[in-house]
Structure 1
Amino acid sequence: MSNLNRIILVGFVSTDPELKNTADGVPMAKFSLAVNRPQRADGSAGEVDFIDIVSWRRQAEIASTSLKKGNQAIVEGRVQVRSYDDASGKRVWSTEVVANNILNLKENMVSVPYPRAEEAEPAANNLEDTIPEVSENSEPLPAEEDIPF
């Protein structure tokens, strides 16, 4: 049986990304994403989860300069659970999302105005006007085995 560890989150950046370099000089950025849970059955708002996001290398550098607290973003990645010993020697477990792709919705949204009703093209009144004519001279459709998919 195959395994799959993939997650897609849409939320708001709740902390500015913090860029650091590892001992080997590899850039790493960490930030938190606030993601709403679904609305409750009684209609009240769901809770908010604050999910730690980690990105690496060039993506970390881009995230640290383009993402700001309050931006809406889509993060696609994988869930990672790790442990480490804190300063007092106590074992600490951490769950985070390692980002493969980050899309800053604030920078990537394009506004396309809808035409007003009076500016829109009139709809066809007669459906027959929109259907192309087929004559006896038209090419026949290819046989099913000739279709490339």
Structure 2
Amino acid sequence: MNKVMLIGNVGKEPDIRYYEADQAVAQIVLATTERGYTLSNGTKVPEHTDWHNVILWKNLAKVVEKYVHKGDKLYIEGRIRYKSYDDQQGKRKYVTEIWADNMEMLTPKPASAPAAESSSQEGVSNATAGKDKLPF
């Protein structure tokens, strides 16, 4: 079974691209951090952060485009994929990606919305207000 579950923060603004027939793909960089701690013998183990390349397709990518920004906390569930390629000097390079099957936004939504919203924006904000998980 190939299953990955991550909770982390988005490291930079998502990169969204469109291809054939209005299909989207999003790439985000997610930082996961293991807290530092002190062992019983006094040895300090420092905090450690890993950076993950996450790929989201189709509807998930469109949700990322609308709602996900740098610093947001996300839960990602997906599969790990490995790729390799040869760079310009002919050296073999390896890339590890997480292909997301599910995403939950964990960053709380702002408590108050601007008073001057158009009716179309109110429909979107009312549909998503107070929900921890968006329908995918």
**Normalised by the size of structure 2, how large is the TM-score?**
0.67
Alignment of 1:1-149 (within 5 A): 4-22=1-19, 26-40=23-37, 41=39, 42-87=43-88, 89-107=90-108
Which structure's CA Rg is the greater one? 1
What CA distance in whole angstroms lies between the structure 2 residues aligned with 1:25 and 1:56? Answer: 12
Question: Alignment RMSD, CA only?
Answer: 2.5
Amino acid at match of 1:58: N
TM-score, length-normalised on structure 1?
A: 0.62
- How far apart, in 1, do the equivalents of 2:8 and 2:101 lie? 16
The percent of aligned pairs where both chains have the same amino acid is: 26
Q: Return the offset for 1:93.
A: 1.4
- Structure 1 stretch 54-63 or stretch 14-23: which is displaced more? 14-23
Partner of 2:118: none
2:107 is paired with a residue whose SS is helix
Deviations 1:24-77 (A, max 9, x none): 763110010110024344455421111110000111111122110011110000
Question: Residues 74 and 20 from structure 1, CA distance in 2 versus in 1: closer, same or farther, beyond 3 angstroms?
Answer: same
Q: Which runs of 5 or more residues in structure 2 are unaligned?
A: 110-128, 131-136
- The number of residue pairs the alignment matches comes to 107
Letter in 1 for 2:17: K
One-letter code aligned to 1:35: T
- Equivalents in 2 of 1:5, 1:101: separation in Å? 14
The code of the aligned residue for 2:8 comes to: G
Q: Looking at both structures, which has the greater relative contact order when contacts are Cα pairs under 8 Å and sequence separation is at least 6?
A: 2
